Structure 1
Amino acid sequence: MTDGLKTIIYPVKDLGRAKALFGALLGVEPYADEPYYVGYRAAGQDVGLDPNGHAKGMTGPVPYWHVSDIGSTLAALVEAGAEPLQDVQEVGGGRRIAFVRDADGNLIGLLQDPPA
């Protein structure tokens, strides 16, 4: 089951320049500011900057569908023909992510937050 698209992550090459641009666009300070990830929350949306995204196979922004069971959702997508690019991994605070490429080359991200 999905709770919809709530997160988008951009692969970036220059984290400093990307932070300046997205800070100006969103008008907020990041809630997470680490060398491996910068995250913003604005207008009910999470926007992330990943300086390692290109190395992971990200060719552009990846929309992340929030799901209740990331393992079974990932398995269902792979069974339906998606190519796994990043297996499930924890990214902090119990949050887990994964992403795949569909048959048309589109990237589909999955995100599961820890139980409340």
Structure 2
Amino acid sequence: MARVLALSSTTSRGASVLRGLTTVSFWAADLDAAKAWYTELLGTGPYFERPGYAEFRLGDYQHELGLIDRRYAPAGAPAEPGGAVVYWHVDDVDVTLEKLLSMGAKQYEPPTERGPGFVTASVVDPFGNVLGFMYNAHYLDVLGERP
């Protein structure tokens, strides 16, 4: 617990050590197919590309979603879905799940209410990555958009 608290504490300049989410990275054995799939899902193409890598900006804070050629995965990186799940806010979990399934994703976690104003779900994309999404009342509070 002390280690987590240290990461959320402030530096000598007053800034938090963990200042914000910058990039979520997914591995893909077929980078071109992954770019095409995520371009269709997001309705926009990558804003930055280089050999073996493509990056999208999305959402209210222009967070980055990076796709990396699986050849560059570190030794021992798991090949199966699992581990930590990052959840992206969506306005409708059921509609998002329906769209993702229609695009070839497989359900990983069904829509699950976590309390009033919080519903999570996740899928495994066609490239083996867990893509989490949720309706999150706190996210809307930060934006000042909560109904």
Q: Which TM-score bucket, shorter chain as reference?
A: 0.5 to 0.7
What residue is the counterpart of 1:23 in the other structure?
5
Q: CA deviation at 1:85?
A: 1.0
Query: Matched residue pairs, number?
Result: 74
Structure ranking higher on relative contact order (CA contacts 8 Å, 6+ apart)? 1
Superposed displacement of residue 44, structure 1: 5.7
Aligned-residue identity in percent: 34
Deviation at 1:63, TM superposition (A): 1.6
For residues 96 and 89 of structure 2, what CA distance do their matches in structure 1 show? 10
Q: Residue 105 of structure 2 contacts residue 123 of structure 2 at CA under 8 Å; is this kept in 1?
A: yes
**Unaligned ranges ≥5, structure 2:** 11-17, 22-79, 138-145
- 2:114 counterpart of 1:91: yes
1:1-116 counterparts in 2 under 5 A?
Answer: 19-27=1-9, 43=19, 59-114=82-137, 115-116=146-147
AA in 1 matched with 2:128:
G
* Corresponding letter in the other structure for 2:115: G
Letter of the structure 2 residue corresponding to residue 74 of structure 1 = L
Determine if contact 2:93/2:120 at 8 Å carries over to the other structure. Answer: yes
Query: Which has the larger Rg?
Result: 2
Cα deviations by residue, 1:41-60 (Å, 9 ceiling, x for unpaired) = x7466xxxxxxxxxxx9622
TM-score by length of 1: 0.53
Question: 1:67 corresponds to which letter in structure 2?
Answer: V
Q: Which has the higher strand share?
A: 1
Q: CA RMSD in A?
A: 2.5
Higher helix share: 2
Alignment gaps of 5+ in structure 1: 1-18, 29-41, 46-56
User: Which of structure 1's runs of 4+ aligned residues deviate more than 3 A?
Assistant: 42-45
